[in-house]
Amino acid sequence: MYHVVTGAAGFIGANIVKALNRRGHSNIIAVDNLSRADKFKNLVDCEIADYLDKREFLERVSEGVFHGAVDAVFHEGACSDTMETDGRYMMDNNFRYSVALLNFCQEQEAPFLYASSASVYGAGSTFKESREFEAPLNVYGYSKFLFDQYVRRKWQHKTAQIAGFRYFNVYGPREQHKGRMASVAFHFFNQYTAEGKVRLFEGCDGYGNGEQLRDFVSVEDAVKVNLYFLDHPEHSGIFNLGTGFAQTFNDVAVAAVNACRAANGEESLSLAQLQERGIISYVAFPAALKGKYQSFTQADVGALRAAGYQEPFLNVQDGVGRYVGHLLKQR
């Protein structure tokens, strides 16, 4: 029997594969699209049974090759570029692909754990898993929203666990291939180590420079939540996956810079001190993002806690600090 991980060479998918390995599981079908070949590096230290291209995997699913052979599917495969403007591609890759795998899992009575996104909430200020708060701002968010709606229509007749996770701003190891879509923690680390300073967006939507607020969640915690639901197939639903506590982009920058400084034996500095020394500065807010940007996110984790997940989440100071330590070891 196999665990299937789609998007296995990607950020969260690769971390799930590695976590399954730590549990002693290596009978894993890794599914991805390696047209961007550098993602392979995320699987170099992982043990898998087989790798399949997304198209080949879907063909084998339709041919019945995996009937009776799947323990669970972690569906992390998607186009995660919020700036993507090809709606046909986005809907095929994020919506149709997900529908096909959900239906397969329901036929096989296999747990289906999938990646949704906090982008479904758009510019709203209430982040609760309920239809009235959902209004995505771009086609990426819409693709995730539409699949969540499809899932909701399945609740009354589901044959096995269906658990969707609305990821907030996830950061951590194995995201280096994501380019501009990598976390701000990753970008701040690279800016500081290359130039000795970091640049944040100026204020927007009534927020001061670098004071926009997001719910930043470590990939360590994202994986823990996925594995909790794997261990508790009696729990189904759509769940916010964030810390439940918003922090500023300035907080992330300060944490990244001070973690680097600590590694060099230098003292920690406050935000004001970093600004005074020009280590933290601000650039104009991009015109391309106006009207498509979430200046505030904060997960309501009530449903997640009600499903029994009680582990604490890493805050930015601790999580980014650990992440910077990992990045420094990779250099």
Task: Look up 140 and say whether it is catalytic.
Answer: yes
Q: Which of 2, 121, 140, 323 is catalytic?
A: 140
Which one from 18, 54, 158, 178 is the annotated catalytic residue?
A: 178
Query: How would you class 124 by CB atoms within 10 Å of its CB: exposed for 0-12, middle for 13-18, buried for 19 or more?
Result: middle
* 197 in active site: no
Catalytic residue numbers read 140, 178
